[in-house]
Chains A and B, each alone.
Chain A
Amino acid sequence: MNLKEIKELIELMTEKDISELELERAGVRLRISRVRRAAVEAGVPASVLPAAAPAVAANPAAVAPAPAPAAPPAEPREDLHIVKSPIVGTFYEAPAPGAPQFVKVGDPVQPGKVLCIIEAMKLMNEIESDVAGEILKRFVENAQPVEYGEALFAIRPLKK
């Protein structure tokens, strides 16, 4: 395993939002853990979270235990999933004015379920849920402008 492969793994984890990955190959054991961004936004103080950059540890000796990820949060926290706007635009709660809302607080959602539309210059961006869970909170009013990266919904993920 070389540096390039490890870099690719980190990119994959970022892309797929994988928080922790462990693998063993040809006598090398590797564990990468990432900070869950949702946890930061759920109001957990940053100081109790592990470092922001992925912590990488490669051990040439098969027997050596991989270092544990940084200390877990001191207090129990609810692992909320925050859906954020990928673009600057206008928030719509329904496919058309007067039509039923895509989702309401309390609704169960599955991955791929459309939560809202963000419109920028007539580009209609359907925001889908990427987790299964329950809508806990909606942060934006209908027809309001939203910024890039602004929180739209908080979802409580289903326990696996």
Chain B
Amino acid sequence: MDRELDRLVDLLADHATVVVSGAKAAAEIGVPHSTLHEWIERLRELGVHIDGLPGRGLVLKTVPDILTAGVIRRAARGTQFAAQVHHYYRIGSTMTAAADLAREGAPHGAIVVAEQQTAGRGRLGRSWHSPRAAGIYMSLLLRPLMPAARAPVLTLAAGLAVADAVSDITSRPTDLRWPNDVLLDGRKCCGILPQMTAEAERIRHVILGIGLNVNQESFPPELAGEAVSLAQATGRRLARADVLAAVLRQLDRRYREFAAGDTAALIADFERRSSYARARRVSVETEPRSFTGMSEGLDACGFLLVRRDDTGTVEPVLSGTIRSV
């Protein structure tokens, strides 16, 4: 269904502001006129503005900012993420869709993008606010050929990639909060969730979930102090296709470094780019305990080293939430 809707949007977008007769659109897509009307109704429900002129045809007043499969393919051109493109107008979670694809044997580099998620997921069952067409909600299917023990650095690589892409697009400095929150003006614009399925010696797949706030004008009160969109930070709306292209380009580069085993270089880059990596007073929340201390860089695995206030010893943080105190 989503694929057919994409074809209709692409067709109308190719003739934006020109009236396309319903009969012509139906013929080009190869469906009966009545089906075409159902699709148009569905697209309108999903927020696409299509004007219908009685007896004359259809017209898109402006090209909608929709990441159709064609738009995604163009944005991914030249990267390893063009292997298979899946676009949904509305979905529970791109993570679930990507996990299904992985089980069905989809190739490395398959990409799932949604306009809207009704059950966007974050770390440990938390939700990710995913309003329609405002952000980029996607999951990439990766099949790294390496033992599972080497995979966690991918988290840092993905954070670096998005931070660089956001800086490229907005011309604004970005910061990284270990392990991979991308910050603009001290607030989070992107969340990254890597999910791995692996046996001891072999990774079956990693699904890299990315939620990037692009054109949100506001956030629910509980997120307002913590979240920011690129539009809020720059004062202008951005074409999501351009942002997507920048993110995929940087991910392609960083993934190659990761796959080549350039762990030390990635860790060094992260330490350079992140104000949290060194000499920062932080709290470490690792359910059910938490502590405070001073960050002292990353270890050879990429774990954040924190000198604890209570014991005076340096402890590597395996997981958890880092906050500035």
Binding site for B on A (CB under 8 A): 14-15, 84, 86-90, 92, 95-97, 99, 119-126, 128, 130, 143, 145, 148-149
Chain B residues, Cβ within 8 Å of A86: 147-149, 198-201
- Give the tally of cross-chain contacts (CB within 8 A): 94
B152 and A123 contacting across the interface, CB-CB below 8 Å: yes
A121 and B179 contacting across the interface, CB-CB below 8 Å: yes
Shortest beta-carbon distance, A35 to chain B, in Å? Answer: 16
Chain B residues, Cβ within 8 Å of A123: 151-152, 154-155, 194-196, 206
Shortest beta-carbon distance, A19 to chain B, in Å? Answer: 16
Q: State A109–B319 Cα separation when bound (angstroms).
A: 28
Q: State A15–B200 Cα separation when bound (angstroms).
A: 10
- A120-B152, A123-B152 known; A84 and B200 CB under 8 Å? yes
Task: Decide yes or no whether B229 CB sits under 8 A from chain A.
Answer: no
Nearest A residue to B126 by beta-carbon distance? A96
Q: State A145–B301 Cα separation when bound (angstroms).
A: 15
B193 and A124 contacting across the interface, CB-CB below 8 Å: yes
Shortest beta-carbon distance, A39 to chain B, in Å? Answer: 17
Shortest beta-carbon distance, A14 to chain B, in Å? Answer: 8
Nearest A residue to B103 by beta-carbon distance? A112
Q: State A92–B125 Cα separation when bound (angstroms).
A: 12
Q: State A15–B196 Cα separation when bound (angstroms).
A: 18
Of residues 161 through 212 on chain B, the ones whose CB sits less than 8 Å from some CB of chain A are: 178-180, 192-202, 206
Please provide the 10 A-B residue pairs with the shortest distance between their CB atoms, ordered closest to farther: A96-B125, A86-B148, A121-B179, A120-B152, A119-B319, A121-B155, A90-B319, A125-B196, A86-B200, A121-B152
Binding site for A on B (CB under 8 A): 123-126, 147-149, 151-156, 178-180, 192-202, 206, 286-288, 301-303, 318-320
A-B residue pairs in contact (CB < 8 Å), sample of 30 = A15-B202, A86-B148, A86-B199, A86-B201, A87-B148, A87-B151, A88-B149, A88-B152, A88-B301, A92-B124, A95-B124, A97-B124, A119-B318, A120-B152, A121-B153, A121-B179, A121-B302, A121-B303, A121-B318, A122-B179, A122-B194, A123-B194, A124-B193, A125-B148, A125-B197, A126-B195, A126-B196, A130-B199, A143-B286, A143-B287
- A15-B201, A125-B196, A130-B199 known; A87 and B152 CB under 8 Å? yes
Give the one of A122, A125, A143 with max B CB within 10 A.
A122
Chain A residues, Cβ within 8 Å of B320: 90
Q: State A55–B69 Cα separation when bound (angstroms).
A: 53
Shortest beta-carbon distance, B317 to chain A, in Å? Answer: 9
Shortest beta-carbon distance, A6 to chain B, in Å? Answer: 20
Shortest beta-carbon distance, B259 to chain A, in Å? Answer: 15
Q: State A121–B196 Cα separation when bound (angstroms).
A: 12
Chain B residues, Cβ within 8 Å of A121: 152-153, 155-156, 178-180, 302-303, 318-319
Chain A residues, Cβ within 8 Å of B152: 87-89, 120-121, 123
Give the one of A95, A119, A124, A149 with max B CB within 10 A.
A124
Nearest B residue to A96 by beta-carbon distance? B125
Shortest beta-carbon distance, A41 to chain B, in Å? Answer: 13
A125 and B193 contacting across the interface, CB-CB below 8 Å: no
A122 and B148 contacting across the interface, CB-CB below 8 Å: no
B318 and A148 contacting across the interface, CB-CB below 8 Å: no
Nearest A residue to B301 by beta-carbon distance? A88
Shortest beta-carbon distance, A56 to chain B, in Å? Answer: 20
B149 and A148 contacting across the interface, CB-CB below 8 Å: yes
Q: State A91–B156 Cα separation when bound (angstroms).
A: 20
- A90-B318, A121-B155, A123-B151 known; A95 and B125 CB under 8 Å? yes
A126 and B319 contacting across the interface, CB-CB below 8 Å: no
Select which of B123, B147, B318 is within 8 A of A120 by beta carbon: B318
B148 and A90 contacting across the interface, CB-CB below 8 Å: no
Chain B residues, Cβ within 8 Å of A145: 318
Nearest B residue to A17 by beta-carbon distance? B199
Q: State A92–B152 Cα separation when bound (angstroms).
A: 16
Shortest beta-carbon distance, A18 to chain B, in Å? Answer: 14
Chain B residues, Cβ within 8 Å of A14: 201
A125 and B198 contacting across the interface, CB-CB below 8 Å: yes
Nearest A residue to B99 by beta-carbon distance? A126
Nearest B residue to A125 by beta-carbon distance? B196
Chain A residues, Cβ within 8 Å of B156: 121
Chain A residues, Cβ within 8 Å of B126: 96
Chain A residues, Cβ within 8 Å of B286: 90, 143
Shortest beta-carbon distance, A121 to chain B, in Å? Answer: 4
